[in-house]
């Protein structure tokens, strides 16, 4: 194992990426609720979408960390 592997584990990447993934989930939920108004669904408030993005950001973060770790492994030739 190299220094890079020890520093950037998938778990550590997830901690770093969580704010970005949760923010992306919040934006996408809010925009989706705005588009849902076209078919008669109510729009979600920004605070509600932020609240929903906290738990929904966890799987998005896991997938992001997995993807980034895969890219790092590919760049290192593993």
Tens-level pLDDT at each residue, the chain (78 residues): 555 556 888 899 999 999 999 999 999 999 999 999 999 999 999 999 999 999 999 999 999 999 999 999 999 887
**Contact, 2 vs 50, CB < 8 A?**
no
Domain ranges of the chain: 9-76
**Contact, 62 vs 14, CB < 8 A?**
yes
Residue 3 has a pLDDT of 58
> Residue 27, SS3?
helix
Residue 7 has a pLDDT of 83
Say what the pTM is: 0.82
């Amino acid at each position: 194992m190299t220094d890079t592997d020890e520093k950037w584990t998938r778990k550590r990447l997830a901690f770093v990426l969580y704010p970005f993934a949760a923010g992306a989930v919040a934006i996408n939920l809010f925009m989706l609720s705005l588009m849902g108004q076209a078919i008669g669904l109510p729009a979600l408030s920004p605070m509600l979408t932020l609240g929903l993005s906290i738990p929904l950001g966890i799987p998005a973060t896991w997938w992001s960390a997995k993807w980034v770790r895969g890219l790092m492994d590919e760049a290192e030739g593993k």
